């Protein structure tokens, strides 16, 4: 009657596991500003919701396992617009980017196989790895370097005989780091040299600031004549503020990988039907919708950074993209601090919820002094939330033994 080992070992999400504490705080009447989860407050394009409302069929039926042809075509057209050679048949629609990660992992890894990741990394990579028996081999990146990649040899040191892939997100969650073309090329070159796949999670592609452009894995792999090694993970969740739609994409020119992913997809029948129509509407709006949204996030980033600079001893490079920042705070145990924020702290009946940084590491003990902030609130709310955070660090440090 025991759980499986993976059932026991499966980590609770560091983004969501403190939710019961937040609920309790709300039950006490405390207003909680959520900086813990990447749930944007930006309206979803109304045209996307209209596309769902305009669904005409009387039957909400299964779609094809690979996604609706027109949805795959819309995604392929969007990627072609970025200069990449992608056809509709190279695109598998998934239940969120989450499922694309899972399918990529199990298409190429058996239990005991390894995937290289860069700490801190998107926390759910750990979850999917646990679910499917894959071991993550973590390469450290440092807040002092803006979480950019270390030297080639440092990465090569973790590659072994069971290593099957390199997995990274850029623009990065939780780091906000946008890898340079040279960095993405390094990862592709390492894949070629060590006979690996390279999985680029580009859910935040457009979220790059200060004139930067995110470098795509498909473009770099094409230049390196290594397209068959590249797997792209993508999603409409952030690009169109449509996280609840659960529409993602796995894109690859490797026919065997795509075929395996499709067979996994057949087992779960199909992704949600209605939201695929929303996705089509979204990709028709991208030029109109996305740039102002990215401007808004850039302003929010600046607000968060201004707040963090008011915390003596906080360490944080200016994030270049996505809508996260993972600062090191002078709070000793950031997990305990995050719980304190919900359990005890309140200023004028308000507090703030953050994600403890250790959940974004595979290596025990790392990230202990870090938190992840998702800057997904309106400017005014974000100003309040950062004031609360700055104040809370003060109170916390005044209370704890030196």
Q: Which of residues 94-113 bind its own copies (CB under 8 A)?
A: 95-96, 98-99, 102, 106-111, 113
- Cα distance between residue 90 and residue 67, in whole Å: 11
CB 232 within 8 A of CB 250: yes
- Cα distance between residue 162 and residue 90, in whole Å: 27
Dihedrals φ, ψ of 263, to 5°?
-65, -40
| Closest by CA position to 164, among listed 119, 208, 108 | 108
Closest CB 168 distance from its own copies, rounded Å:
18
Closest CB 108 distance from its own copies, rounded Å:
5
| Residue with smaller CB distance to its own copies, 146 or 284 | 284
Considering only residues 20, 24, 28, 60, which one is a binding residue for its own copies as defined by CB under 8 A?
60
Closest CB 330 distance from its own copies, rounded Å:
29
Told to check if 284 binds its own copies by CB under 8 A, we report no
| Closest by CA position to 135, among listed 110, 162, 115 | 115
| Closest by CA position to 163, among listed 112, 226, 104 | 112
Closest CB 269 distance from its own copies, rounded Å:
6
Count of residues engaged in binding its own copies, rule: CB under 8 A: 81
Told to check if 17 binds its own copies by CB under 8 A, we report yes
- Choices 25-33, 39-47, 328-336, 379-387; region in contact with its own copies by CB under 8 A: 39-47
CB 372 within 8 A of CB 16: no
Closest CB 61 distance from its own copies, rounded Å:
5
Considering only residues 85, 193, 223, 266, which one is a binding residue for its own copies as defined by CB under 8 A?
266
Told to check if 30 binds its own copies by CB under 8 A, we report no
| Residue with smaller CB distance to its own copies, 58 or 287 | 58
> Which tokens in the block code for residue 75?
């995604």
* 142: number of Cβ within 10 Å: 13
Write the interaction track for its own copies spanning residues 116-155; mark x where CB under 8 A is met and - where it is not. --------x--xx--xxx----------------------
- Choices 40-48, 155-163, 166-174, 367-375; region in contact with its own copies by CB under 8 A: 40-48
Told to check if 355 binds its own copies by CB under 8 A, we report no
Told to check if 298 binds its own copies by CB under 8 A, we report no
Considering only residues 273, 303, 351, 358, which one is a binding residue for its own copies as defined by CB under 8 A?
273
Told to check if 115 binds its own copies by CB under 8 A, we report no
Told to check if 353 binds its own copies by CB under 8 A, we report no
Dihedral over Cα of 43, 78, 249, 222: its sign: negative
Of residues 158-217, which lie at the interface with its own copies (CB under 8 A)?
164, 195, 197
Of residues 228-257, which lie at the interface with its own copies (CB under 8 A)?
228-229, 241-246, 256-257
Residue 399: which residues within 8 A CB-CB, separation 6 or more? none
Residue 310 CB-density burial (10 A; 0-12 exposed, 13-18 middle, 19+ buried): middle
- Cα distance between residue 119 and residue 116, in whole Å: 10
Told to check if 398 binds its own copies by CB under 8 A, we report no
Considering only residues 25, 32, 44, 216, which one is a binding residue for its own copies as defined by CB under 8 A?
44
- Pinpoint the alpha helices (H) of 310-378: 334-343
Closest CB 73 distance from its own copies, rounded Å:
16
Q: Which helix or strand (DSSP H or E) is residue 115 part of?
A: strand 114-119
User: How many residues are given for the chain?
Assistant: 402
| Residue with smaller CB distance to its own copies, 214 or 230 | 230
Considering only residues 22, 25, 32, 63, which one is a binding residue for its own copies as defined by CB under 8 A?
63
- Cα distance between residue 249 and residue 261, in whole Å: 11
The string over 331-356, giving b where at least 16 C-beta atoms fall within 10 Å of a residue's C-beta and e elsewhere, is beebbebbebbbbebbeeebbbbbbb
Told to check if 18 binds its own copies by CB under 8 A, we report no
> Which tokens in the block code for residue 306?
């201004």
Told to check if 35 binds its own copies by CB under 8 A, we report no
- Choices 37-45, 139-147, 209-217, 384-392; region in contact with its own copies by CB under 8 A: 37-45
Query: What 3-state class would DSSP assign to 370?
Result: strand
């Amino acid at each position: 009657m025991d759980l499986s080992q993976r059932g026991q070992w499966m980590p609770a999400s560091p983004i969501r596991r403190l939710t019961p504490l937040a609920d309790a705080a709300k039950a006490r009447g405390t207003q909680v500003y959520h900086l813990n989860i990447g749930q944007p407050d930006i309206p979803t394009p109304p045209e996307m919701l209209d596309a769902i409302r305009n669904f005409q069929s009387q039957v909400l039926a299964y779609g094809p396992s690979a996604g609706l042809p027109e949805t795959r075509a819309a995604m392929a057209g969007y990627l072609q617009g970025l200069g990449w050679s992608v056809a509709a048949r190279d695109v598998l629609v998934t239940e969120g980017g989450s499922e694309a990660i899972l399918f990529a992992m199990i298409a190429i890894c058996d239990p005991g196989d390894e995937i290289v990741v860069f700490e801190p990394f998107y926390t759910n990579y750990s979850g999917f790895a646990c679910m499917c028996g894959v071991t993550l081999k973590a390469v450290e990146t440092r807040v002092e370097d803006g979480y950019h990649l270390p030297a080639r040899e440092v990465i090569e040191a973790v590659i072994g005989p069971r290593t099957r892939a390199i997995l990274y997100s850029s623009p990065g969650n939780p780091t906000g780091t946008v890898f340079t073309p040279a960095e993405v090329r390094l990862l592709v070159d390492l894949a070629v040299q060590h006979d690996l796949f390279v999985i680029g999670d580009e859910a935040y592609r457009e979220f790059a600031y200060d004139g930067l452009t995110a470098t795509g894995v498909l473009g770099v792999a094409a230049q390196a004549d290594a397209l068959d090694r590249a797997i792209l993970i993508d999603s409409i969740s952030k690009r169109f503020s449509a996280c609840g739609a659960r529409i993602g994409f796995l894109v690859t020119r490797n026919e065997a990988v795509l075929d395996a992913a499709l067979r996994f997809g057949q087992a779960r029948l199909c992704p949600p039907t209605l939201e695929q129509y929303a996705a089509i509407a979204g990709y028709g709006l991208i030029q109109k919708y996305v740039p102002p949204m990215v401007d808004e996030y850039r302003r929010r980033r600046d607000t968060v950074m201004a707040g963090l600079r008011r915390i003596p001893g906080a360490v944080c490079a200016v994030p270049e993209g996505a809508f996260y920042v993972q600062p090191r705070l002078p709070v000793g145990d950031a997990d305990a601090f995050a719980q304190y924020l919900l359990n005890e702290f309140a200023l004028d009946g308000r507090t703030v919820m953050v994600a403890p940084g250790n959940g974004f590491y595979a290596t025990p003990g790392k990230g202990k002094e870090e938190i992840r902030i998702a800057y997904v609130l309106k400017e005014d709310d974000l100003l309040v939330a950062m004031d609360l955070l700055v104040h809370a660090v003060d109170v916390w440090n005044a209370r704890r033994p030196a």
